[in-house]
Homo-oligomer: A and B are copies of this chain.
Amino acid sequence: MASQQDVAARAHVSFMTVSRVVNNHPNVKKETRERVLAAIRELAYYPDASARALNTRKTENIGVIFPRKEYVFSRPFFIELCIELEDSLSRRGYHLFLGSTRTGDEYRDPTRLVKERKVDGLILIAPAVSDPEIERLAEANVPFVIVHGSSDAADCAYVDTDNAAGTAVILRYLFELGHRRIGFVCGNMSEINARVRYESYGSELKVMGIPFESDLVCTGDWSIESGYEAFRTLVRREPRPTAIVFSNDQMALGAIRAAYESKVRIPEDISITGYDDIKYAAFTVPALTTMRQPLDEVASAAAELILDRIAGGEGARGVVLSPELKVRSSCRRIG
């Protein structure tokens, strides 16, 4: 493995000049630069990231932190987001660390990742609202941004879509289709998004003049299984709801299965909606009406925010993007 010294010797310059060439400093004579470049190529020289990081105190790595592992399986949406993040960040020369939290496991402590200088900053995906981790990060002055969530500890950078508006759009869509008895299935209520969607359900009901009935609400955990169970519960209510709003697509997927088993037809007997517009939503039978979240925009906004934070910037605190209703075939007009 060649070092700057080796390159310097071969090019008959000091290693400082090599460093300048590598870092694209302007002050290098053109022909010297070319001589160095040639030596670099001949020796297959690659700068050592650790040595550089030791000096600059920048690793050019970003940590992406997921909720706990089991959770990830229920939420392909977040994985898709993660891939987009990798794409955005890699374009700017950054690499991604993947981490999921495992409570009580020191090795998974995200703060540690920063303190040990393995990463320059953190992107937290859908953390729990009251996650103590977040406050610790803020106190430790660690650059971080939250994607799909926010914290009680007020002022942290975040990127999200407008969940309240999105949920309201769905409800109004159902309302216009003639639905007046609308069930709701929450996600994991430790997450802000789950809460916001639920609250929006309540307030939009009020706007539409529909009384709230706690019997029409179930709490899931975003998983297919929980959607399956929730559907079975809600479909037995008397009188039966004419529509059910699921807080994400996965749960709606479970509902489709449950409906089939109990010989309830969607949308003939009951309408359902999802949220997220995962890749598969367009292929279910019936195809799922859902809210599309602009993954790529969320990712590139998050990328910009974290980079700004790392650079010490105090730019935008939060970015809120708009979801978009995708009407497919899981709802029908009634009454």
A residues at B contact (CB < 8 Å): 1, 44, 46-51, 53-54, 59, 61, 64, 69, 72-74, 76, 79-80, 82-83, 86-87, 90-91, 93, 95-100, 102, 107-108, 112-113, 115-118, 224, 228, 253-254, 256-257, 260, 279-280, 283-285, 287
A113 cross-chain contacts in B, Cβ below 8 A: 95
Using known A-B contacts A98-B97, A285-B256, A285-B257, determine if residue A59 contacts B69 with beta carbons closer than 8 Å: no
Which residue of B48, B83, B95 is within 8 Å of A117 (Cβ)? Answer: B48
Q: How far, in whole Å, are A283 and B285 apart by their CA atoms in the complex?
A: 12
Interchain CB contact under 8 A, A49 and B107: no
Nearest chain-B residue to A55 (Cβ)?
A: B50
Q: List 24 A-B contacts (CB under 8 A).
A: A44-B115, A46-B115, A48-B116, A49-B117, A49-B118, A50-B54, A51-B54, A69-B86, A69-B87, A76-B76, A86-B99, A87-B100, A90-B99, A91-B107, A93-B107, A95-B118, A96-B97, A96-B99, A98-B98, A256-B283, A256-B285, A257-B283, A257-B285, A260-B285
Interchain CB contact under 8 A, A280 and B224: yes
Which residue of B93, B107, B117 is within 8 Å of A90 (Cβ)? Answer: B107
User: Shortest beta-carbon distance, A121 to chain B, in Å?
Assistant: 15
Q: Is the interface of A mostly helix, strand, loop or mixed?
A: helix
Q: Which of A73, A99, A228, A287 has the most CB of B within 10 A?
A: A73
Interchain CB contact under 8 A, B83 and A72: yes
Chain A to chain B: the 6 pairs with minimum beta-carbon distance, closest first: A46-B115, A50-B53, A257-B283, A50-B54, A49-B116, A260-B285
User: Shortest beta-carbon distance, A240 to chain B, in Å?
Assistant: 21
User: Shortest beta-carbon distance, A85 to chain B, in Å?
Assistant: 9
User: Shortest beta-carbon distance, A221 to chain B, in Å?
Assistant: 14
Q: Which of A46, A86, A93, A98 has the most CB of B within 10 A?
A: A98
Q: Which of A48, A74, A283 has the most CB of B within 10 A?
A: A283
Interchain CB contact under 8 A, B118 and A98: no
A61 cross-chain contacts in B, Cβ below 8 A: 97, 118
Using known A-B contacts A86-B98, A87-B69, A99-B90, determine if residue A50 contacts B283 with beta carbons closer than 8 Å: no
Nearest chain-B residue to A105 (Cβ)?
A: B90
